[in-house]
């Protein structure tokens, strides 16, 4: 199990400029990015045993993070 946080700038290292541009100009993208960061933070807290959670809850959060990442990737590709 990896305890490395999956920050957007690490997930999309070649898209730093597009990430910044979308965050500052697209409210929907900003909400997606904020939700991604919140879910990602919670996963990291669970994986590092700062916050307790069941395996099922952790898996659900990971699925949520993946869905958000897919949406963000699609928006970056279209930008």
Round to whole Å and give the CA distance between 21 and 56: 35
| pLDDT at residue 9 greater than cutoff 80 | yes
Residue 51 within any structural domain of the chain: yes
Domain coverage including residue 30: 8-78
Residue 42 within any structural domain of the chain: yes
Q: What is the pLDDT of residues 35-67, one digit of tens each?
A: 999 999 999 999 999 999 999 999 999 999 999
| pLDDT at residue 77 greater than cutoff 80 | yes
Residue 73 within any structural domain of the chain: yes
pLDDT of amino acid 2: 57
**Structural domain count, the chain:** 1
pLDDT of amino acid 21: 96
The model's confidence at residue 4, banded by pLDDT at 50, 70 and 90, is low
């Amino acid at each position: 199990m990896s305890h490395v946080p999956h920050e957007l700038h690490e997930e999309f290292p070649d898209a730093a400029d597009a990430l910044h541009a979308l965050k500052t100009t697209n409210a929907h993208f900003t909400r997606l990015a904020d939700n991604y960061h919140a879910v990602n933070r919670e996963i990291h807290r669970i994986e590092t045993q700062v916050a307790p959670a069941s395996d099922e809850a952790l898996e659900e959060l990971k699925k949520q993070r993946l869905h958000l990442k897919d949406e963000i990737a699609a928006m970056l590709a279209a930008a």
